[in-house]
Chains A and B, each alone.
Chain A
Amino acid sequence: MYRSNILVCGGTGCTSSGSEKIISKLWKEIKIRGLEQEVNVIKTGCFGLCSLGPIMIVYPEGSFYSMVQVDDIAEIVEEHLLKGRVVKRLLYKETLDGEKIKSLNETAFYSKQKRIVLKNCGLINPESIDEYIAMDGYCALGRVLGKMSPRDVIEEIKMSDLRGRGGGGFPTGVKWELTAKSEAEQKYVCCNADEGDPGAFMDRAILEGDPHSVIESMAIAGYAIGANKGFIYVRAEYPIAVKRLNIAIEQARNYGLLGQDIFSSGFNFDIDLRLGAGAFVCGEETALMSSISGKRGEPRPRPPYPAVKGLFDCPTLLNNVETYANIPQIILKGASWFNSIGTEKSKGTKVFALGGKINHTGLVEVPMGTTLREIVEEIGGGIPNGKKFKAAQTGGPSGGCISIENIDIPIDYDNLLSIGSMMGSGGLIVMDQDTCMVDIAKFFLEFTVDESCGKCVPCRIGTKRLLEILNKITSGNGTIEDIDKMEKLCYYIKSNSLCGLGQTAPNPVLSTLKCFRNEYEMHVNKKKCEAGVCKSLLRYEIIEGKCKGCTLCARNCPVSAISGFVGMPHEIDSDKCIKCGICMQKCKFDAIIKH
């Protein structure tokens, strides 16, 4: 028995900020003081507050230490672990209320959250199946195999109103039912862990923090639809997730929770991993299955849907990581518990990867129906440097933006669609007044052009032409006709592309056009980018009266575009200037402005 547990975040964010070194130093200091029989150090999955990493929590007190440095460890071990005095100066500031120390759940970041999917993330050691079992892990599988028929399981999931968390929001229970109905000797259960949206890392956090929840859920799905084999298709760019999944699968096999005759029920089920190889389109279901079968990850037209003809031409159930992570909870606590959370048509919670111009970058799980304002201002701690909120982008390259007018709309599948955005997989990028919306649309288009698989013309060529028009506009050569042309092209691509990638690729353009058409017009008519982002439209100028002629700017200009004599006002040659902004940073007299 350990009297104290130290939980150190071993997610990708905290690992990059050095949590491995923290762990080895902790063990070293603990051994020096002979505490190794009393204090245990556990490497967990993501806590969610990535911007404060490396993060650790010391139990039983629940003291939350943030931005921990290796040099602080000796003090924490000596003072806190040996003598029982919390090292207040290293605590996360929000947990300090004068002399009182608040628990983490009382802080703004966590109090508004509701953790179903992430309930074990940051609380258990993801490399230990025992810890997952201690949190009632595999109880749902046990119950399903012992007491429920496949029909009962499907009914329970249908009643919960769970919808697919990968973006589309298709009712999960209906999908299971369709696949169960398909008659075939061989069926498959697949998990889409090919999280490709730039700026989204929900699935990675679940796989890194609680891999067994996905494995248990896939086994339940296998029982419900009549499949004995599962595949998890995971990005090769997530090495920590891949490692922990491999460990988890091996442990589940050793315990007989995967394999033959699980819980003496006669049900057999096993799971294999397949690694993606860096193709965004493989997040599309038919492309993903093509990739698992060892081919180019190109989508094909539907129908037939995977429920009828999927992997290796067999009926296949495909859900994403977050969807699966909800299942054991629904089985254990019941469909009526689950559908009491959320809005009328969207039940449960949604995990968002909060990023961009926001104080608390990280992972949050909120009930459906939470407003964007609550997420940005309360949980996210607002926008840095007192800047103003402009918009939030959801759904990555397939989604759109939510502007300030809609900040109080309850977020769910249908509301987001009605305002021209979409839930997507859960990336939520916050933008302030310094963000140019035309540039954002261009950023996502560059991504889709790069990732288009090339199979169908509307997507391959259409997105390329779209990007060309955007480039023309941001470089100051656009005309008002270009905007209309672009809009038409968007609708053409949407209605004619083969798969979801192409059909949604124009969304970032359409949505920014809808909310910020004036910005496009400003770029075209006045050749001006108000946010000061589009470099071709920028001009740097030296204010004569303020320039002291110190020559600092001229010496730092990488292209020698600044000239002038010592002690005399300098001048910028705008033909030479590459708008890198170094002169403005260097100037000590605020004599340089951009417009």
Chain B
Amino acid sequence: MKTLEELKKIRDEARKNINVRNNNPNDIKVLIGMATCGIAAGARQVMKEFINQVDKKNIRNVTITQTDCAGSCEYEPRVEIIFPGNEKATYVNITPEKVSRIIDEHIINGNIVKEYTIGWNN
């Protein structure tokens, strides 16, 4: 270890792995419906894709976790995104291919991807 900068680099890298333990209320929450219906519709793949992309894009203020069945199983896989202090946006019939756009437009830039939300097609 030669410089403080070197130490800080290790620190920032290591923080990625323990961030999840902070339970930070200011994190953006990504909730993925993971009841039996969700899993059957492919929620596991959606979740994996979220984890992958968040990691790849080096986003720190996001907590990815599961939520229960909302009662309308035909809309699964379903993803809810909650910004601190804001209402949640609910995306339905999400596939791994759609994840990237949600992250770029909504999580990074704060614009809801309207055509993926419930009620868009009606």
Contact = CB atoms under 8 A, between A and B. Distances in A.
A257 B1 contact: yes
Contacts of B44: 34
Contacts of A130: 10, 13-14, 17
Contacts of B35: 83
A293 interface: no
A84 B69 CA distance: 10
Contacts of A134: 11, 14-15, 17-18
A1 B17 contact: yes
Given A38-B48, A255-B1, A7 B11 contact: no
A60 B18 contact: no
B21 A123 contact: yes
A85 interface: yes
A243 B95 CA distance: 47
A255 B14 CA distance: 14
A418 interface: no
Interface string A108-136: 00000000000000011000001101111
B64 A3 contact: yes
Given A7-B21, A263-B1, A1 B51 contact: yes
Nearest to A130: B14
B contact residues, range: 20 to 34
Interface string A1-36: 111110100000000000000000000000000100
Contacts of A131: 14, 17-18
Contacts of B54: 1
Interface in B50-72: 51, 54-55, 63-68
B1 A82 contact: no
A133 B34 CA distance: 34
Interface of B is mostly: helix
Nearest to B35: A83
B67 A263 contact: no
A40 B4 contact: no
B11 A60 contact: no
B109 interface: no
B115 to A, nearest CB: 26
Contact of B68 (A84, A103, A256): A84
B51 A85 contact: no
Contact of A263 (B3, B31, B63): B3
A220 to B, nearest CB: 14
B65 A84 contact: yes
Interface string B25-41: 00100010011100100
Contact of B47 (A3, A85, A138): A3
A264 interface: yes
B80 to A, nearest CB: 12
Nearest to B23: A62
Contacts of B13: 130
Given A4-B65, A83-B35, A84-B66, A142 B14 contact: no
B2 to A, nearest CB: 5
A107 to B, nearest CB: 15
> Which of A1, A82, A138, A139 neighbours the largest number of chain B CB atoms within 10 Å of its CB?
A1
Contacts of A34: 44
A263 B64 CA distance: 37
A256 B1 contact: yes
A573 interface: no
A130 B39 CA distance: 35
A84 B13 CA distance: 27
Contacts of A1: 16-17, 51, 54-55
Given A82-B34, A84-B68, A60 B23 contact: yes
Given A1-B17, A3-B64, A256-B2, 14 more contacts: A1-B54, A3-B63, A4-B20, A38-B51, A60-B21, A60-B65, A61-B65, A82-B66, A84-B31, A130-B10, A130-B17, A134-B14, A255-B1, A263-B1
23 contacts: A4-B20, A4-B65, A7-B21, A34-B44, A38-B48, A59-B23, A60-B20, A82-B39, A83-B36, A84-B34, A84-B66, A84-B68, A123-B21, A124-B18, A131-B14, A134-B14, A136-B11, A137-B11, A139-B4, A142-B7, A146-B4, A263-B3, A264-B2
Interface of A: 1-5, 7, 34, 37-38, 40, 59-62, 82-85, 103, 123-124, 130-131, 133-139, 142-143, 146, 255-257, 262-264
- List 7 tightest A-B contacts by C-beta distance, closest first: A84-B66, A134-B14, A1-B55, A130-B14, A256-B1, A3-B64, A142-B4
